[in-house]
Structure 1
Amino acid sequence: MTAPLDVPDASVDPASAPAVAGAGAAAIQGRSLGQIAWMRLKRDKVAIAGALVVIFLILVAVFAPLLVKAFGQDPTQFNSDLIDASTMAPKGGTGISADHLFGLEPVNGRDIFSRVVYGARISLLIAFLATLLSVAIGTLLGVTAGYFGGLVDSIISKAMDVFLAFPLLVFAMALAGIIPDSAFGLTGDTLRVAMLVFVIGFFNWPYIGRIVRGQTLSLREREFVDAARSLGARGPYVIFREMLPNLVAPILIYSTLLIPSNVLFEAALSFLGVGVRPPTPTWGGMLSDAVRFYTIPHFMFFPGMAIFITVLAFNLFGDGLRDALDPKAR
């Protein structure tokens, strides 16, 4: 005996049937990896605070002339009339006032606020450009070594070992002593900035190169790489179209952690007198000048706090970004 057929009720609109069956249930929407990472990052309040501070510092560096015009004065301008001739210290101890928010330097009376603001330009510019150079070289050589392996990997790995053992600080000091006032069509501060970017960026690439090489060694055994090879894809295509997109997360994370290291290194070079030359303000140079006036703490406090806040903000943001982009995180 044949089972009766189920005849749909004519009173029910077929178009509304799915809505009736799923009444009260919200539609499920897919989320990309970027959306998932952003949701994780938003939950990390400390990382968001670090990111906001980083954005603030970048804006300060970009709009330094406007800030100085509104709240300070020319960072190279002397105010000898505000300096006590007997102690060479600012009158009143620090010189802090409505016109000089961070006080005055001893001896010459230059405005500390203006010099800290303009110092952000030098420190962040060198740190960003040096990081970009390190990431570009390290990524290219790291992914090449990891993908091709064999002799290529051996040569690049040995080059990494040589660069990691190189006495970078001594080399920077020696280079600063022999570099002329003009070279390669550059002069003055532009030449010094280019030299620092080259020294810091070119000799720091092995750090990120090792990370990229290790990730590439893991990726080249994955199925999508084997599939690309089986379809006849050549090495450059596999590297740039298949592997590099999967290396964006570790590269981005390490870049945010490399920038504060470069800020510290630039400050150290300026502190030793081999960075950008005076009277151009730098945070490290200001700390070097402040060492002679240890009895006037505000002179050292403000550039030191600028370095501390910058490094801390980048580190907090980098840690949060690492957790957000970690596929194993919950």
Structure 2
Amino acid sequence: MSAPLDVPGGATEAQPEAVLSGAGVAVQGRSLTQIAWLRLRRDRWALAGGAIVVFLILVAIFAPLVVRLLGHPPNEFHPDQIDPNLSTPIGPYGGISREFLLGVEPLNGRDLFSRVVYGARISLLIAFLATVLSVLIGTVLGVVAGYYGRWIDTLISRTMDLFLAFPLLVFALALAGVVPDSAFGLSGDALRIALLIFIIGFFNWPYIGRIVRGQTLSLREREFVDAARSLGARTPYIMFRELLPNLAAPILVYATLLIPTNILFEAALSYLGVGVRPPTATWGGMLSDATTYYRVDPVFMLVPGIAIFVTVLAFNIFGDGLRDALDPRAR
């Protein structure tokens, strides 16, 4: 049997607080956010993906400044950079030079660097806003279905199944083809961007709705929900003040994984010619134009293709790391 320890104050047994107080060590608790950040900091791949994502967002926001410093206007022709006999860029590797960092487009000589930078604006804007729309609709309907259950859950769940079975690409092609050049007070690029955001965001909400519904079915049986009911809390308060904060982690993770999917879908629509119309630069539109010249100028296809690949990969790596940081048991 060990002998009792004497500490200042006459106590016969040392308490943890007393030992730490005597050592001059301040004990501070960590919030769940701080713990998740510490986990995320250990994942170098996730940090690298997050850094690329932040860089791409900054480039898209400050596209006019970046182009003014390092490029030329995206729709400006440079026929002096094109071989008049072959209609291909003069010089090796698609005309890459100090003046044109990524070369020029065949036939017209537009600056590829500037068009990729401005294309990032369109792709990221549509992907972010479409994701926000999907998250809002999916979260609200998922929480309502999971909390109420019964016929409400059945109705919302069958609606999710209907949307998931809907041929989204065919509908997008049909809708984008019949919408006139001016509608709903919008016209031009603004109308096409709003249309793409609606199509992608409105028809993708069931994916996150299913996740939120499943989590809500589990959380509604927890003790803190019973405690809120016993204190007289109303149903909207329980759903959006008690359940929703506990759903923030899976919603945030799935949103980061949904963004690259939306980027690819927007690129596919632009590639098929129903996205934002030329001469506005989009990554999918650039790939569509490059199919004519990929044999004589492969750089024209590689530049927007690599931009899409790096962006989607960065979002996916960051989303995986964020999921592991917020829910380490899922690893």
Give the match for residue 77 of structure 1: 76
Alpha-carbon RMSD across the aligned residues, in angstroms, is 1.8
Matched, 1:43 2:47: no
Distance 1:127 1:20, change over 3 A: closer
Distance 1:247 1:19, change over 3 A: closer
Matched, 1:257 2:253: no
1:229-277 deviations in Å (ceiling 9; x for gaps): 1222221111011100000000000000000000000000000001000
Partner secondary structure for residue 166 of structure 2? coil
Give the match for residue 294 of structure 1: 294
Which structure 2 segments of 5+ residues have no match?
1-6, 10-16
Matched, 1:157 2:118: no
Give the match for residue 4 of structure 2: none
Distance 1:226 1:83, change over 3 A: same
Matched, 1:325 2:326: yes
Aligned residue-pair number: 317
Q: Which amino acid in 2 is paired with 1:134?
A: S
Q: Select the structure of larger CA radius of gyration.
A: 1
Give the match for residue 29 of structure 1: 28
Distance of 1:74 and 1:9 partners within structure 2: 76
Distance of 2:8 and 2:146 partners within structure 1: 64
Deviation at 1:26, TM superposition (A): 3.2
Distance of 1:294 and 1:218 partners within structure 2: 52
Distance of 1:33 and 1:56 partners within structure 2: 27
Percentage identity across aligned positions? 71
Partner secondary structure for residue 329 of structure 2? coil
Distance of 1:248 and 1:20 partners within structure 2: 38
Distance of 1:182 and 1:283 partners within structure 2: 24
Q: Is the 8 A contact 2:20 2:26 kept in 1?
A: no
Give the match for residue 133 of structure 1: 133
Q: Is the 8 A contact 2:40 2:322 kept in 1?
A: yes
Distance 1:286 1:146, change over 3 A: same
Distance of 1:286 and 1:134 partners within structure 2: 27
Partner secondary structure for residue 49 of structure 1? helix
Q: Which amino acid in 2 is paired with 1:237?
A: Y
Distance of 2:101 and 2:315 partners within structure 1: 25
Deviation at 1:24, TM superposition (A): 3.8
Give the match for residue 14 of structure 2: none
Distance of 1:311 and 1:23 partners within structure 2: 53
Q: Is the 8 A contact 2:120 2:282 kept in 1?
A: yes
Partner secondary structure for residue 96 of structure 2? coil
> TM-score normalized by structure 2?
0.92
Distance of 1:290 and 1:9 partners within structure 2: 80
Q: Which amino acid in 1 is paired with 2:204?
A: N
Partner secondary structure for residue 303 of structure 2? helix
Distance of 1:72 and 1:278 partners within structure 2: 20
Note the 1:1-330 alignment, pairs <5 A: 23-24=22-23, 26-93=25-92, 94-295=94-295, 296-326=297-327, 328=329
Distance of 2:20 and 2:159 partners within structure 1: 65
